[in-house]
């Protein structure tokens, strides 16, 4: 598993050029690139530039629209539904989050459900847009079905992540960004490459038996909801993933459950789809819609300080605040560059050749 390190700006220029080549406007290409690479910076390698050729294949298969007319199709003072016009989620999601922020400015909070979109990168980017406005940001999305609800043999939910970003004062922001499964698909891929087994509670086989085979998804198995099994609370992970699905798609008119379109363009689309594209859900809450921002930040700092200074279990350095590892990773990779597996580099080089762009 050898890898090569690329400066952020090099990957940025390359990725933006690819998005422009498929027809994105310059500003859309820049936005999509910024969102996509935020995953690489924050260490969520599975959701970053490694997926660029996947987005291009969606466009080639006419499943993604490079020049979408993203627009509000319904609204109230604190809510909206956005139609992504089959655009890249990397562009649709920041539009919709901005609508949520604008509504929060007016009436305290804003809540936006999105239909007819595609994969939006990491939830964290969108939720964190709220922070500079002294708002709490919330982002979630559904995704194609890889997860079996408790007691189910069938895969009916995506890994359906939730991000909640909360501003602080002197301390860095609290940013919880989590898939509602025990482990995300990216972690399985790492174990596959290392030829290692998974811990218990991550996957089941196609009959619904517990498994530790990281290749299980390819033979009809499923990821498991956070908790793993009933005895360890998987019905809670299932319920959380279900809430994400319903807020993202049943509220907006997108597809839900087993009908969510797959990311890989070679996978056939589901039949009898009940909605349009995939769905997202965003929220923004002004902290001063509850109490003065300075008071909120003072107590948020106190909360963070108390948790970070808790006595750690022997062998662990300290209790982490959600967002700590990703923030450190981002600072480090902005300086030292982003490592890509050789297989990813080669894929990008091939993609570049198609469009006459050098990595």
**Residues in 229-258 that interact with a copy of itself by CB under 8 A:** 231-233, 235-240, 242-243, 245-246, 250-253, 256-258
Beta bridge partners of 114: 82, 280
Minimum separation from the CB atom of position 340 to a copy of itself (A): 26
DSSP 3-state of 24 = coil
Which 213-232 positions form the footprint of a copy of itself (CB under 8 A)? Answer: 226-228, 231-232
Minimum separation from the CB atom of position 326 to a copy of itself (A): 12
Minimum separation from the CB atom of position 313 to a copy of itself (A): 3
Identify which of residues 250 and 341 has a Cβ nearer to a copy of itself in the complex. Answer: 250
Report how many residues bind a copy of itself under the rule CB under 8 A. Answer: 85
Q: Does 208 bind a copy of itself (CB under 8 A)?
A: yes
Cβ distance 130 to 169 under 8 Å?
A: no
Give burial (CB, 10 Å; 0-12/13-18/19+) of 190: middle
- Which alpha helices (DSSP H) does 22-70 contain, by range? 26-41, 52-60
Identify which of residues 194 and 299 has a Cβ nearer to a copy of itself in the complex. Answer: 299
Among positions 85, 102, 154, 347, the unique one binding a copy of itself when judged by CB under 8 A: 154
Among positions 20, 21, 109, 211, the unique one binding a copy of itself when judged by CB under 8 A: 109
Identify which of residues 291 and 354 has a Cβ nearer to a copy of itself in the complex. Answer: 291
Minimum separation from the CB atom of position 162 to a copy of itself (A): 8
Q: Does 300 bind a copy of itself (CB under 8 A)?
A: yes
Among 139, 121, 137, which residue's Cα sits nearest to residue 281?
Answer: 139
Identify which of residues 21 and 181 has a Cβ nearer to a copy of itself in the complex. Answer: 181
Stretch that binds a copy of itself, among 7-15, 50-58, 283-291, 326-334 (CB under 8 A): 283-291
Among positions 13, 46, 57, 78, the unique one binding a copy of itself when judged by CB under 8 A: 78
Among 238, 275, 241, 281, which residue's Cα sits nearest to residue 256?
Answer: 275
Stretch that binds a copy of itself, among 33-41, 64-72, 123-131, 150-158 (CB under 8 A): 150-158
Among 188, 199, 205, 189, which residue's Cα sits nearest to residue 154?
Answer: 205
Minimum separation from the CB atom of position 238 to a copy of itself (A): 8
DSSP 3-state of 245 = helix
Helix (H) or strand (E) holding 189: helix 185-194
Identify which of residues 1 and 314 has a Cβ nearer to a copy of itself in the complex. Answer: 314
Among 222, 134, 127, which residue's Cα sits nearest to residue 181?
Answer: 222
Residues sharing a CB contact under 8 Å with residue 286, sequence separation 6 or more, in sequence order: 104, 105, 108, 109, 133, 134, 135
Among 145, 165, 144, which residue's Cα sits nearest to residue 153?
Answer: 145
Give burial (CB, 10 Å; 0-12/13-18/19+) of 224: buried
Q: Does 152 bind a copy of itself (CB under 8 A)?
A: yes
Identify which of residues 238 and 263 has a Cβ nearer to a copy of itself in the complex. Answer: 238
* Per-residue contact string for residues 305-334; x = within reach of a copy of itself by CB under 8 A: -xx--xxxxx-x-xxx-x------------
CA geometry: angle at 72 spanning 70 and 74, to 5°? 150
């Amino acid at each position: 598993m050898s890898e090569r390190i690329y400066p952020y700006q090099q990957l940025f220029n390359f990725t933006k050029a690819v998005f422009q080549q498929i027809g994105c406007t310059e500003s859309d290409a820049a936005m999509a690139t910024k969102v996509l690479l935020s995953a690489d910076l924050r260490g969520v390698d599975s959701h970053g530039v490694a997926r660029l050729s996947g987005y291009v294949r969606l466009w080639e298969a006419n499943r993604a629209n490079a020049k979408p007319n993203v627009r509000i199709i319904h609204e109230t003072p604190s809510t909206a539904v956005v139609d992504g016009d089959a655009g890249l989620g990397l562009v649709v999601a920041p539009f919709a989050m901005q609508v949520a922020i604008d509504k929060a400015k007016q009436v305290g909070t804003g809540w936006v459900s999105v239909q007819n979109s595609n994969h939006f990168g990491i939830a964290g980017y969108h939720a964190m847009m709220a922070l500079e406005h002294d708002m709490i940001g919330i982002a979630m999305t559904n995704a194609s079905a890889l997860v079996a609800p408790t007691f189910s043999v069938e895969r009916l939910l995506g890994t359906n992540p939730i991000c909640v970003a909360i501003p602080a004062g002197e301390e860095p922001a609290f940013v919880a960004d989590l898939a509602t499964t025990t482990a995300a698909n990216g972690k399985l891929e790492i174990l596959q490459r290392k030829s290692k087994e998974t811990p218990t509670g991550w996957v089941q086989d196609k009959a619904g038996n517990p498994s530790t085979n990281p290749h299980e998804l390819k033979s009809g198995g499923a990821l498991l909801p956070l908790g793993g099994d009933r005895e360890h609370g998987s019905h809670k992970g299932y319920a959380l993933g279900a809430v994400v699905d319903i807020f993202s798609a049943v509220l907006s008119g997108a597809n839900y459950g087993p009908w969510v379109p797959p990311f890989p363009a070679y996978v056939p689309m589901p039949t009898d789809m009940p909605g349009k594209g995939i769905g997202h859900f965003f929220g923004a809450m002004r902290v001063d819609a509850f109490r003065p921002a300075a008071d909120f930040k003072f107590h948020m700092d106190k909360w963070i300080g108390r948790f970070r200074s808790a006595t750690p279990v022997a062998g662990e350095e300290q209790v982490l605040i959600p967002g700590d590892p990703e923030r450190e990773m981002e600072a480090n990779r902005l300086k030292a560059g982003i490592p890509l597996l050789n297989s990813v580099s080669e894929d990008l080089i091939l993609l570049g050749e198609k469009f006459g762009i050098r990595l």
